[in-house]
Amino acid sequence: MRIVIAMMKHETNTFSPIATDWQRYKDWGVYFGEDAQNAYENTGMPMAAYIDLAKEIGAEIITPLAAEAMPSGPVTGEAYAIMSDAICHAVADGCDAALLDLHGAMVSEETDDGEGTLLERIRGIAPDLPIAVTCDLHCNLTQKMVDNCTVLIGYKSYPHVDMYEVGKKIGKVLLDSLSGKFHPVMAWQQIPLLSQTLCQGTDDEPMKSLIELCREKEKNPKILAATIFGGFALADIKDSGTSVIIVTDGDKQLAEKTSREISWLAWEAREKFIYRPKPLKEAIQDAKAQTNFPVLLLDHEDNCGSGGTQDVMMVIKEVIDQGLEDVAVAAVYDPLAVQEMIKAGVGKEITLAIGGRFDMPSVMLKGKPLTLTGTVRTVTDGRWTVHGPMYTGVEVSMGPTAVFDTGKVQIVVVSFHHEPWDTGVFTSVGIQPEHKKFLLLKTRIHFRAGFAPIGKATIHCDGEGVTTSDNNLLHYKKVRKPIYPLDKGVNF
């Protein structure tokens, strides 16, 4: 038996000014053939689970591609073609099944439905090919995706710490169905809800109960997989938003009924999926009043993990203006500032303009650098291996990296976008985060994977950026209407 196993991922923020070209994929890591297997085997990713399953049954493993890029604007036609060609050529060479590790919110220059278009093309080559797909919790599910695979499942955790487990579950369902043990059928439901990712943490309501309900449903041996997708509202495409998909063993009615039930509960909780902003000044005042440290300050409107430029200095400026001390910041994207620090050398004091390199026309913001005087503390190549619970075992790269120290605030400045979900973002540059008073993190929910165990309090800091949680700042043109909360009187 020959099994094609591949990973092709991107979460596309259509409001982001950052281009997602092939180089951006290379920055994170692109692997073909055996290199793809070597890079992701024994990690916490769905791809690793697929490889383990294929090995268990002694199948021949074909890994044409493993590619991911940090979230950003639409994927270029060139990058999309390289990735989908690699997978499609492997399928065309002949295989008995495909196990795909996708995201579900990829938009390219040519298609708003990156995954659906790929799956449709695969099915065009091999119409009866059994295909299993894992998607991120932030998948914007489409009819085309559902129509062109056999089984599909999403992560049940945000931060995403169950990627391997989910890959194993759906991969096993598919392989068991090859021997006739199961006859999978799917039903799905789109909810007219643009939920904020900031309100989708699975330790918080309403996602906590909705995920528990999915797990409860999966205890029924007829229900092979039950998924609720929070969706990714920062994509202005027709199918943006929350959805549910159920895989059952041959029982379409049960799939439909279960899908409707979970969807209805998500719809009833819709208000809790919307973030209520708070003035930044007050948030930093709250931080000053804290007595248990470290306190986590979330600069969630500039989260590169959702397509943010990671160079908006507004929250950092407020922290400095209000005189907070013993602060570590992860991270600011500014390759030019890193080069200036490398040129100056470790231990040297310099005055430097940091951040503000990108304009953000979609939210009518100009890039505003912040000029600071401080000391270059550390310079590294930015490479380290994740030991925490998310992306466990994966070597990540922040590109050339330097720490700028104002005396009160230490800023990790990076050359590749990197969301701080793991303490390695600090320890790799010699900062011990548990000993700081304040950790200012450009993240939303993923920080919990590495930082929840050490953080004594968490404060949302509403700055600016293209990962705003305020829908009123975003100008949607393509999303289906009516949809909550953009429109009034939406029915479901």
- Residue 464 makes contact with Zn ion by CB under 5 A: no
- Residue 136 makes contact with Zn ion by CB under 5 A: yes
The 192-231 contact track toward Zn ion, x by CB under 5 A, reads ----------------------------------------
Residue from 138, 156, 168, 300 touching Zn ion (CB under 5 A): that is: 138
Residue nearest to Zn ion as judged by C-beta position: 138
Specify burial of residue 40 (Cβ count, 10 A radius: 0-12, 13-18, 19+).
Answer: buried
Cβ(196)–Cβ(276) under 8 Å? Answer: no
Query: Which CB atom, from 97 or from 102, has the smaller least distance to Zn ion?
Result: 102
Q: Nearest Cα to 135, choosing from 239, 57, 21?
A: 239
Cβ(176)–Cβ(424) under 8 Å? Answer: no
Query: Which CB atom, from 101 or from 136, has the smaller least distance to Zn ion?
Result: 136
The 312-341 contact track toward Zn ion, x by CB under 5 A, reads ------------------------------
User: Which stretch, 131-139, 293-301, 384-392, 462-470, contacts Zn ion (CB under 5 A)?
Assistant: 131-139
- The CB-of-417 to Zn ion minimum distance in angstroms stands at 15
- The CB-of-188 to Zn ion minimum distance in angstroms stands at 19
User: Which stretch, 128-136, 353-361, 416-424, 473-481, contacts Zn ion (CB under 5 A)?
Assistant: 128-136
Q: Measured on CA atoms in the order 291, 293, 294, 296, is the torsion positive or negative? A: negative
- Measure the CA–CA gap between 249 and 224, rounded to whole angstroms: 7
Size of the site for Zn ion (CB under 5 A): 2
Q: Measured on CA atoms in the order 181, 183, 184, 187, is the torsion positive or negative? A: negative
- The CB-of-217 to Zn ion minimum distance in angstroms stands at 22
Alpha helices (runs of H) in 392-452, residue ranges in sequence order: 424-427, 448-451
Does residue 284 sit in helix, strand or coil? helix
- The CB-of-230 to Zn ion minimum distance in angstroms stands at 8
- DSSP assignment of 118-166: HHHHHHHHSTT--EEEEE-TT----HHHHHT-SEEEE-S-SS---HHHH
- Measure the CA–CA gap between 114 and 110, rounded to whole angstroms: 9
- The CB-of-158 to Zn ion minimum distance in angstroms stands at 6
Query: Which CB atom, from 24 or from 138, has the smaller least distance to Zn ion?
Result: 138
Provide the token pair at 280. 């930044």
User: Which stretch, 138-146, 334-342, 361-369, 387-395, contacts Zn ion (CB under 5 A)?
Assistant: 138-146
Which positions from 68 through 107 interact with Zn ion, judged by CB under 5 A?
A: none
Query: Which CB atom, from 29 or from 201, has the smaller least distance to Zn ion?
Result: 201
Query: Which CB atom, from 136 or from 299, has the smaller least distance to Zn ion?
Result: 136
Strand segments, DSSP code E, in 406-472 are 409-414, 438-441, 457-460
User: Which stretch, 130-138, 139-147, 237-245, 356-364, contacts Zn ion (CB under 5 A)?
Assistant: 130-138
Query: Which CB atom, from 138 or from 418, has the smaller least distance to Zn ion?
Result: 138
- The CB-of-71 to Zn ion minimum distance in angstroms stands at 8
Q: Nearest Cα to 87, choosing from 43, 128, 49, 131?
A: 131
- The CB-of-62 to Zn ion minimum distance in angstroms stands at 27
Q: Which residues contact 206 (CB under 8 A, 6 or more apart)?
A: 265, 266, 269, 272, 273
- The CB-of-144 to Zn ion minimum distance in angstroms stands at 20
Cβ(47)–Cβ(40) under 8 Å? Answer: yes
- Residue 156 makes contact with Zn ion by CB under 5 A: no
Alpha-carbon Rg for the chain in angstroms: 22
- Measure the CA–CA gap between 64 and 85, rounded to whole angstroms: 10
Query: Which CB atom, from 138 or from 436, has the smaller least distance to Zn ion?
Result: 138
Query: Which CB atom, from 59 or from 161, has the smaller least distance to Zn ion?
Result: 161
Query: Which CB atom, from 138 or from 442, has the smaller least distance to Zn ion?
Result: 138
Rounded to an integer, what is the distance from CA 350 to the centroid of its chain?
Answer: 35
User: Which stretch, 45-53, 67-75, 135-143, 410-418, contacts Zn ion (CB under 5 A)?
Assistant: 135-143
Rounded to an integer, what is the distance from CA 276 to the centroid of its chain?
Answer: 22
Query: Which CB atom, from 138 or from 377, has the smaller least distance to Zn ion?
Result: 138
- The CB-of-103 to Zn ion minimum distance in angstroms stands at 7
Query: Which CB atom, from 138 or from 168, has the smaller least distance to Zn ion?
Result: 138
**What Å distances lie between residue 33 and 80, 99, 232, 247, 392, CA to CA?**
17, 15, 31, 31, 22
Q: Which residues contact 82 (CB under 8 A, 6 or more apart)?
A: 22
User: Which stretch, 118-126, 137-145, 169-177, 484-492, contacts Zn ion (CB under 5 A)?
Assistant: 137-145
Residues within the interface to Zn ion (CB under 5 A): 136, 138
